[in-house]
């Protein structure tokens, strides 16, 4: 089933467009909902990738539970923006990149494409580092060789994609489950004080006034609300074979539930990383923990839980492997959507991963393992700085009645979406100002 006014070649991800069967309207609601389960979990991968680990670990070790509020806020922003992204893709039959190409000038589109590619490279940078560190921790493979090995995960992605989109989603959900279980065990073992954890979800002015805390806070937002995920979600929701005439409203409803539930899982994982770091390091005086390797080395001795460090490394490897899939798809969607340029999947993946490997290799060569975590946190700040270039076009489109028709968002949601965009802009402006003024 294809969109009525589009040629098949114009469909987003044409090889899997409308490829997953949706139960008829007379089927039980559970069966209809399950048909839409998957894209939300694909998107949630980006919200618990290795970049999140660096920011959450540093935030928890340095500031205790204080930045849990930032994790909660960024997750609420993510839920809203991903729901808008799915709505755009389903209502218009165009992903965010295609919509930009349809409505903006070539110059603006080139700028947006360039900034999105920077975001994908920054995300891929985190994946390379995370995978390399996990391989070192589990198998004692040197970081430099681990970074090189991470280039080979292109073969894994291609193998999964060739088997269809449902197997790809199943693989992602399996690894997400591994990550969730690993951190659930660690949170129980850490035994954090309940009242301190709950207090961490309350806002505090020091988050904005303390420059060090603000830097980590913006890194958390950049690591959580990933710009390329907005392009990704608007495309992969179209893999479902819902009716392009009278099935859009139900598709929007189930897709929104799918992403909201999946991002709630991401909230748990991000909060768990920070909680474990706060309980294990901040409260025991190890507040200078900034490296993933240091956290791995100290977790088991401090917590008195022998497999805590192993669970940590296994979850990190699962996160790095999983993030590869979304990076591959996002790169393809952005390049096809903005430029109408389609490279072979293997070429797209190796190009993006190759660009990401270069700064990692340079950082390892110059600073050894100690420069890796700083590069991880910096990559998440880069992601945050790219956010407005994806968020503002998205909000413009979903609030445009002429484009969205009956599926245009309500005035209340529009105000909330613009407020979210304004908050992102304000935080980024303050970060830049503080950086320029020293």
CB 250 within 8 A of CB 30: no
Which among 215, 184, 193, 201 is positioned nearest to 283, based on CA atoms? 193
- The pLDDT value recorded for residue 5 is 43
Which among 225, 165, 223 is positioned nearest to 35, based on CA atoms? 165
Distance CA 228, CA 326 (A): 9
- The pLDDT value recorded for residue 354 is 66
Distance CA 35, CA 85 (A): 19
Which among 340, 321, 420, 431 is positioned nearest to 85, based on CA atoms? 420
Distance CA 270, CA 57 (A): 10
DSSP secondary structure string for all residues of 288-326: T---HHHHHHHHHHHHT-TTHHHHHHHHHHHHHHHHHHH
- The pLDDT value recorded for residue 349 is 63
Distance CA 275, CA 281 (A): 10
Side-chain-side CA neighbours of 335 within 13 Å: the count stands at: 18
Could you say which DSSP state residue 352 is in? Answer: H
- 8-406 has which CATH code? 1.10.4160.10
Q: What is the dihedral of CA 249, 251, 253, 256, to 10 degrees?
A: -140
Interior/surface letters 125-141, b for 16+ CB within 10 angstroms, e for the rest: bbbbbbbbbbbbbbeeb
- The pLDDT value recorded for residue 153 is 66
Q: What is the dihedral of CA 358, 364, 366, 369, to 10 degrees?
A: 150
Distance CA 179, CA 262 (A): 13
The radius of gyration of the chain from alpha carbons, rounded to an integer in Å, stands at 21
Distance CA 143, CA 408 (A): 48
- The pLDDT value recorded for residue 125 is 75
Query: Under 8 Å CB-to-CB from 3, ≥6 apart: which residues?
Result: 11, 93, 244
pLDDT per residue, tens digit, the chain (438 aa), is: 333 344 445 788 888 888 898 887 778 889 999 999 999 999 998 778 777 777 888 889 999 999 999 999 999 999 999 999 999 999 999 999 999 999 999 999 999 998 888 887 777 777 777 888 889 889 989 887 887 787 666 667 667 777 888 988 999 999 999 999 998 999 998 889 999 999 999 999 998 888 888 888 887 876 667 788 899 999 999 999 998 888 999 999 999 999 999 999 989 988 998 999 999 898 888 887 767 777 888 888 888 778 888 998 999 898 888 887 777 778 888 888 998 877 776 676 667 666 666 766 776 677 666 666 677 667 767 777 788 889 999 999 999 999 999 999 999 999 999 999 888 888 777 766 776 676
Which among 48, 100, 133, 102 is positioned nearest to 372, based on CA atoms? 133
């Amino acid at each position: 089933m294809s969109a009525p006014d589009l040629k098949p070649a114009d469909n987003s991800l044409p090889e899997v467009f409308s490829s997953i069967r949706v139960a008829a309207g007379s089927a039980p609601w559970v069966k209809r909902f399950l048909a839409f389960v998957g894209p939300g979990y694909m998107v949630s991968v980006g919200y618990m990738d290795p970049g999140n680990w660096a920011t959450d670990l540093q935030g928890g070790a340095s500031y205790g539970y204080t930045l849990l509020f930032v994790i909660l806020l960024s997750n609420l922003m993510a839920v809203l923006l991903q729901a808008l992204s799915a709505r755009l893709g389903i209502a218009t039959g165009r992903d965010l990149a295609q919509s930009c190409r349809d409505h903006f000038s070539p110059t603006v589109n080139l700028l947006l494409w360039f900034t999105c590619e920077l975001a994908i490279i920054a995300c891929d940078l985190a994946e390379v580092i995370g995978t390399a560190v996990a391989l070192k921790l589990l198998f004692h493979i040197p970081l430099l060789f681990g970074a090189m090995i991470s280039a080979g995960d292109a073969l894994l992605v291609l193998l999964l994609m060739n088997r269809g989109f449902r197997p790809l989603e199943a693989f992602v959900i399996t690894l997400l489950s591994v990550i969730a279980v690993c951190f659930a065990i660690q949170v129980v073992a850490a035994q954090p004080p309940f009242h301190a954890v709950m207090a961490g979800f309350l806002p505090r002015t020091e988050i904005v006034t303390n420059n060090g805390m603000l830097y980590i806070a913006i890194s958390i937002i950049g690591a959580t609300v990933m710009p390329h995920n907005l392009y990704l979600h608007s495309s992969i929701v179209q893999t479902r074979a819902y009716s392009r005439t009278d099935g859009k409203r139900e598709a929007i409803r189930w897709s929104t539930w799918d992403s909201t539930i999946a991002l709630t899982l991401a909230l748990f994982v991000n909060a768990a990383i920070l909680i474990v770091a706060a309980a294990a390091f901040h409260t025991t005086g190890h507040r200078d923990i900034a490296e993933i390797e240091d956290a791995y080395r100290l977790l088991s001795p401090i917590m008195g839980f022998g497999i805590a460090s192993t669970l940590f490394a296994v979850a990190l490897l699962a996160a790095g492997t999983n993030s590869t899939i979304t990076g591959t798809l996002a790169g393809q969607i952005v390049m096809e959507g903005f430029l109408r340029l389609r490279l072979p999947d293997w070429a797209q993946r190796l190009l993006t991963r190759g660009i990401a490997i270069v700064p990692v290799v340079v950082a390892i060569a110059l600073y050894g393992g100690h420069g890796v975590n700083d590069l991880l946190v910096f990559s998440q700040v880069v992601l945050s700085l790219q956010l407005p270039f994806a968020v503002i076009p998205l909000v413009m489109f979903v609030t445009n009645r002429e484009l969205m028709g009956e599926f245009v968002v309500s005035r209340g949601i529009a105000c909330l979406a613009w407020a979210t965009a304004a908050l992102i802009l304000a935080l980024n402006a303050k970060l830049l100002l503080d950086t320029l003024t020293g």
